A = this chain, B = another copy of it.
Amino acid sequence: MYTAEIITVGDEILIGQIVDTNSAWMARELNLSGVKVNKITSISDNAEAIKTALSEAEQSADIILITGGLGPTNDDITKRVLAGYFGSIRMIVHEPSLKFIETRFVKRGIAMNELNKQQAEVPDCCTVIPNNHGTAPGMWFEKGKTVCVAMPGVPSEMMKMLPDVLVLLRQKIALPEIFHKTLMTYGISESELAKKIEIWENALPENIALAYLPNIETGVKLRLSSYIPDGKQIIEEQFNRLIDVLGKYIYGYEPDTLESVLGELLFKKGATVATAESCTGGRIAHRITSISGSSAYFKGGIVAYSNEIKTSVLDVDPADIEKFGAVSSEVARQMAEGALKTFNADYAVSTTGIAGPTGETIDKPVGLCWFGITTPNSTKTFSYNFFCDRQGNIAGASSIALNALRLQLIEL
């Protein structure tokens, strides 16, 4: 099995200013491609540290992925260090990259300076991997049997460049057959899930590995992995057996999300949806509209943060707010019904709760949220209590709302 080391360069990692999410992304993608990651190292923007890390990695890994330090400013030294390490004689201008950078600046109507132009310079001993989403090109170096690929540290740029790197790797080395598939569940806890699928899990064939991946926004994912030739078929058969066991807890397979699955259901039905959000503050609308094509089924949403707006825009009865409180079944019901009417939609969902950390009352703790789901015929309400911080409570409540809409749609 081929092995890899990941090196991330940047003082901002070593002083704890940012969390190194790039490493996890690269590690996962390498793993999915059948490459074993031995080690992840984060080092400073310092020439000696970079050289030492490269030389240590070279001794034990077939593949080195290095990110960061490729920006236009003086503190970004990775490119110069790589040039020296891999024996470059001079820097050359990579014309396609220069053209791309120039076009980018022209489009934006910004003047280009010397630093920007220098972004297109690369060591003469590397192969360029185009960066179509930023100004720092990727660089592929070879030394003996080791491949070293440098990518920008900006996560979105690295994430878009990595598939091209994996294609090139596959051209150079024979990566093993590997197959992963991830089933998405929502509405069941990790331990409940483990109980429910215990028999199935114990009967899994050898060479098929199971992982539980819980997350407040996506629910618990179940990933099966195989490293054998007919693994794809076995994994699909195994997952099919779970359909009866887990039923509606299953909402899809990676890369499905609650919002993408909901979008497909709405699109197929030719139905539309609207949102009325209080404590989730626009997060549900944001998730629905993060799906390209959502304009076909998303009519719109209201973030009704104040009672005044709940009344004036969504037509919630102020007497009910007074009587039951804004965080109540009655208000959730009227918000959902108000959104349905205002937006002339087929379905609507509402949230009203206490995201925290302040706003708690004796009978209404932080994390409590009431939900309303309405159709032209009926409205349901229900509540849930999260025990997270503000961001977690908002994320969790938005997922519950999306999942409730999904269940409503598959029930009909």
Residues on A lying within 8 angstroms of B by beta carbon are 11-21, 23-31, 36-45, 49, 53, 56, 71-75, 104, 107-108, 110, 113, 115-116, 133, 154, 156, 160, 180, 182, 189-192, 194-195, 201, 209-214, 216, 223, 225, 254, 275, 277, 280-286, 288-290, 292-295, 298-306, 308-309, 312-313, 342-344, 355-359, 385, 387-392, 394
Contacts and interface: CB of A to CB of B under 8 A. Distances in A.
Given A194-B115, A282-B283, A303-B300, A133 B388 contact: yes
Q: How many subunits of this chain does the assembly comprise?
A: 2
A49 B40 contact: no
A225 B302 CA distance: 44
A292 B394 CA distance: 12
Contacts of A277: 282, 285
Given A17-B211, A23-B42, A300-B302, 5 more contacts: A39-B41, A75-B211, A108-B387, A289-B303, A299-B309
Nearest to A44: B38
Nearest to A119: B191
A332 to B, nearest CB: 16
Nearest to A300: B309
Closest 8 pairs (CB-CB, A-B): A16-B28, A281-B289, A282-B285, A282-B282, A16-B27, A282-B286, A301-B303, A40-B42
Contacts of A313: 300, 313, 342-343
Contact of A72 (B13, B29, B107, B190): B190
Contacts of A74: 201
Given A13-B40, A28-B16, A28-B17, A191 B113 contact: yes
Contacts of A216: 156
A175 to B, nearest CB: 15
